[in-house]
Amino acid sequence: MSVMNEPHVHSSFYRFVALAEPEAVAARLRELSGPETGIGGNILVAAEGISGAIAAPAAALAAFEQALQQDALFGGAFAGMAFKHSACTTRPFTLIKVHCKPEIVAFGVPGVSGLPDPELPDTHVSPQRWRELLNEPDVLVLDNRNSFEYRLGRFKNAVDPEVAHFRDFPAYVAAHAEAWKAEGKRIAMYCTGGIRCEKTSAWMQSQGLEVYQLDGGIVSYFEQMPDAAADWQGECFVFDKRMAIDTRLQETATTAEQVYGDDPKQAWRLARARRLDPGA
């Protein structure tokens, strides 16, 4: 069986870490994920760190993840990084793309970085603590994703900010922050893998909000909580050809057409999803 036809495993990862030469990091990543590896996916590199969603046969994936943590060029910047794995029925990606960007997740607020600030309280909470927060009356559960993702699936009692892009999220928070504080609300927010919450948490604290973020996001919750379905309604959107997974991290039968529907505002996303899947 060729590398291209072997069953694939999906891996998502990120780390906010200062990178002095992101272009050099990206160039080395392209070498490590060449066509002979069978790796597909998307990796973003910026001065603030790395973010990736890739898939490959298990052996190739393990070799890449090891190199990412140990290659001398990276200087230990990614050592011990967490990788979230899920099985694939559909091969998630056809090609590998490695890009250098100003941000690894586009927040759009000048001066805001996801780099850890040791002077701020740690906002991460475990899946076990998250379950408790879901049931505390003074907690507002905030979905830090796009509205079409929320519609497909969400934590119980979660609020939809009704944003079409992550960069719209700060305006929503700014518009509601004073009311939340007046009501004595603590904010528990979540996203798919945790990266959007990482970018948002320190900025929200600067708005005077008490914030918690689900460590590792929805995917970690599904990994660690066998009964995650008790707290989750629907499916979880994923940004690859699988489209959606359930609480057991299994691919569902949901199609791009079902995710995006006939909303004209989502037509470009549907077109992109169709381009992602040329039958490969």
Same domain as 145, residue 93: no
pLDDT in tens, 88-109: 998 999 899 999 999 999 888 8
Same domain as 240, residue 138: yes
Task: State the Cα–Cα distance between residues 272 and 256, nearest whole angstrom.
Answer: 10
CB 82 within 8 A of CB 216: yes
Q: Give the containing element (helix H, strand E) for 151.
A: helix 147-152
88 assigned to active site: no
Same domain as 261, residue 132: yes
Give the pair of three-digit tokens for residue 83: 């990788």
pTM of the model: 0.88
Same domain as 146, residue 78: no
Q: Give the chain's domain count.
A: 2
Give the domain-ending residue among 66, 85, 100. Answer: 100
Give the CATH number, domain containing residue 55.
3.30.70.100
**Residue of 88, 191, 197, 236 marked catalytic:** 191
Domain ranges, residue 230: 124-276
pLDDT in tens, 106-161: 888 888 888 888 889 999 999 999 999 999 999 999 999 999 999 999 999 999 99
